[in-house]
Structure 1
Amino acid sequence: MSRIPEAHLIHSRLRLRQLRLMLALDELGSLRRAADEIGMTQPAATKMLHEAENLLGVELFERMSRGMRATPFGETVIYYARMVFAELSGMREELAALESGNLGRVTIGAIPALASGLLTRTIATLKQSHPRLSMSIQVDTSDVLVQALLQDQLDVVLGRIPPGARADELLFDSLGEEALCVIVGAQHPLASATAQDLSWGQLQGMTWVLQQHPSPMRSIINQAFYNAQLDIPSSIVETTSIMTLLSLIQQTDMLGVTPLSVVNEYPGKHLLAVLPIEFEPRLPPYGLITRRHRIKSSAMQAFMGSVRTVYEQQVQETD
């Protein structure tokens, strides 16, 4: 029979001060130093830790010859304690924002292909309806952004669920799919090539501008060469910046891979050429990604609602 108590007992008996002690103990490794950190005596801290362990029915920290170390049970409690205090900090920021007449703050992660289109239009729309909403933007690949989301460094990600992500901890609101294309500069020798003229084998020996592994887009490109029974190109320039990619493509004989929507929305698209070669593997859909157990603030809800509205408008414009 499990020693772990029912959730309602934990809710009513576990105290924030006990969680603060565990975080301090995990960071400092010493009960005396942890007690000093939160402003209490060592005997009181020892009693508080014992009370928490008795309540949860498990040992949370091992007593070592030099200090203390979290058990697997303790590591789990510490993980959730960090989330509790992160949520409390978020609550405080939102209360302060509402008090000052602001909607609040939202930290957003976006993949490069969506940053210049969907995200830009969403921000412009939001600033008209909520001029005092504060937004912080991080542009990177989905694997980097989702990791930051899981560490509570971001509120919401506009991107894809990367391979190997802890999908059970995430909520995914799918928006759409993107087709990938291989691009070169308009002056490139292959710019006027036909589909009959091109093969992956011909392109394999050229210099490519690609995203870093293990981004979803890079995985698709690697798969395309694998399907063609070819090695990955040996000459690669890696970047997450769309502008760097487009600049290199225009000024050199390098090849790049980008969503077709990026090319169509690029003001200088006449300086580019899309090669008539298709990808068999497809990118997974993109959408809004949040933490499963994270309560959505007013600022998050406003941003996510605006993304959906702007996306639907874009779909209608292209129909």
Structure 2
Amino acid sequence: MIPLTASIRTRLRLRHLQLILAVWEHGSLRRASDEIGMTQPAATKALHELEDLLGVTLFERHARGIDPTVFGEAVIRYARVVFADLGTLREELVAIESGNVGAVRLGAVMAPSQDLLTSTIVALKQAHPKLHITVQIDTSDVLVHALQEDQLDLVVGRVPNGWPAEDLTFETLAEEPLSLVTRPQHPISERTSPVRIGELAEYPWIIQPHPSPMREIIDQTFRHSRVALPENTIETSSILTTLSLLRAADMIAVLPTSVARYYQEQGTLAVVPARFRGRLAPYGLILRSNRRATPATQIVIDAIRATAQTGL
């Protein structure tokens, strides 16, 4: 029987979590005990204490070593978060000691990076020059996973359909319309009348990998048009790779309309007059519900909200 939270708080020690991470990394109690400076009998005793405390078996023993059970995997996941938070705590204390505001790890999908994040970061650096911001641009599935693994502090994106999100909060910021793009020299780029999806299937496509929401919309558009997804495709979530491929060949890609218009104004891309039947869900602020935002993270959250409310 799993004990009450109060019992776990009273009896659980960081040494227990340190040991279980070492066992998971090495697959051996002997090597784990060597790494953290414990004797093997002491490590065995500590592991038994932890299993007795939680009321479950954390590892299965076999001839090749030991592997985590489903309970062990859950404890390992939370142990990693605990030690990641301790690392973040130290960084924040060092930042405060040195006169800095702190550090924030921000993840975002492509669309808000063009306007919302640019305006937000410029304003933030003017108000807080020593605020250290790390920005990761990727698909929502990659970013949300990184947020749940404590590799990011907040995400501007969307929670993918069917994603386990009990530990997440979502706050809507804006819509993200999509556009089809090619290089300006593409044969289809001179069309001014609406283009049917079937006419585009003969060309190579650059598409995002599953399970990104944008890929779901692409698949949905082809299904509704009763057209098979092009066989000649390249999967990537990198905007740089997408732009390079579009410049080099007669390919077609899907980009957020704000991004597409920016590159169209630069003369780099052409927007194809084709309509998507599906629409992406609004993107927004995604945070972990079981983690209180640090002062530095709260500054960034407030700035993103303020910028979004002004309509850029």
TM score, norm. by length of structure 1: 0.88
Q: Which amino acid aligns with 1:274?
A: V
Look up the match of 1:220.
217
CA distance in 2, matches of 1:62, 1:247: 49
Which sections of structure 1, spanning at least 5 residues, go unmatched?
Answer: none
Per-residue deviation, 1:184: 3.6
Where 2:166 maps in the other structure, the secondary structure is helix
Deviates most, 75-84 or 235-244:
235-244
Q: Equivalent residue for 2:206?
A: 209
Change (3 A) 1:262 1:67: closer
What SS class does the counterpart of residue 174 from structure 1 fall into?
strand
Give the aligned CA root-mean-square deviation in angstroms: 2.3
**Aligned mates of 1:251, 1:48 — CA distance in 2:** 60
Alignment of 1:112 onto 2:110:
yes
Q: Is the 8 A contact 1:263 1:269 kept in 2?
A: no
Residue 255 (structure 2) pairs with residue 258 (structure 1): yes
Greater shift after overlay, 165-174 or 4-13? 165-174
1:106 offset after TM fit, Å?
Answer: 1.2
Q: Which residue of 1 aligns with 2:53?
A: 55
Amino acid at match of 2:203: M
User: Helix, strand or coil: the match of 2:191?
Assistant: coil
Q: For residues 80 and 271 of structure 1, do their structure 2 counterparts lie closer, same or farther at Cα, with a shift above 3 Å needed? A: closer
**Offset of 1:231 from its aligned partner?**
0.6
The amino acid of 1:283's aligned partner reads L
In the aligned structure 1, how far is the partner of 2:62 from the partner of 2:240? 53
- 1:92 match: secondary structure: helix
User: Is the deviation greater in 204-213 or in 14-23?
Assistant: 204-213
The secondary structure found in structure 2 opposite 1:77 is helix
**1:278 and 2:262 matched:** no
Q: 1:21 to 1:205 in 2, by over 3 A?
A: same
Change (3 A) 1:71 1:201: closer
Q: How many residues align?
A: 312
Decide whether aligned partners of structure 1 residues 276 and 23 sit closer, same or farther in structure 2, where only a CA change above 3 A counts: same
Contact 2:111 2:176 (8 Å CA) reproduced? no
Q: Is the 8 A contact 1:177 1:286 kept in 2?
A: yes
Structure 2: which 5+ residue stretches go unaligned?
none
* Larger displacement relative to structure 2 (66-75 or 77-86): 66-75
Summarize the alignment of residues 159-308 of structure 1 with structure 2, pairs less than 5 Å apart.
159-195=157-193, 198-246=195-243, 248-249=245-246, 252-266=249-263, 268-269=265-266, 272-308=269-305
Separation (CA, whole Å) in 2 of partners of 1:219 and 1:143: 12
Q: Which runs of 4+ in 1 moved over 6 A?
A: none
Contact kept? 1:19, 1:81, Cα under 8 Å:
yes
Structure 1 stretch displaced more, 13-22 or 271-280: 271-280
Q: Deviations over 1:127-179 (max 9, x none)?
A: 01111011112222222222222222222222222234222232222111111
5 Å matches for 1:99-178?
Answer: 99-178=97-176
Give the aligned partner of residue 83 of structure 1. 81
Change (3 A) 1:125 1:32: same
Question: How far apart are the structure 2 equivalents of 1:62 and 1:255?
Answer: 50
State the TM-score, normalized to the length of structure 2. Answer: 0.90
Task: Give, in whole Å, the separation in 1 of the partners of 2:295 and 2:276.
Answer: 40
What letter matches 1:115 in structure 2?
A: S
Letter in 1 for 2:282: P
CA contact (8 A) 1:110 1:145 kept: yes
- Deviation, structure 1 residue 306: 1.1
Q: Secondary structure at 2:32's aligned position in 1?
A: helix
Go from structure 1 to structure 2 and tell me whether the alpha carbon gap of 1:43 and 1:278 turns closer, same or farther (over 3 Å shift). same
CA distance in 2, matches of 1:185, 1:258: 13
CA distance change for structure 1 residues 64 and 247 in 2, over 3 Å: closer, same or farther?
closer
For 1:61 and 1:252, locate their aligned partners in 2 and report how far apart those are by CA, in whole Å: 53
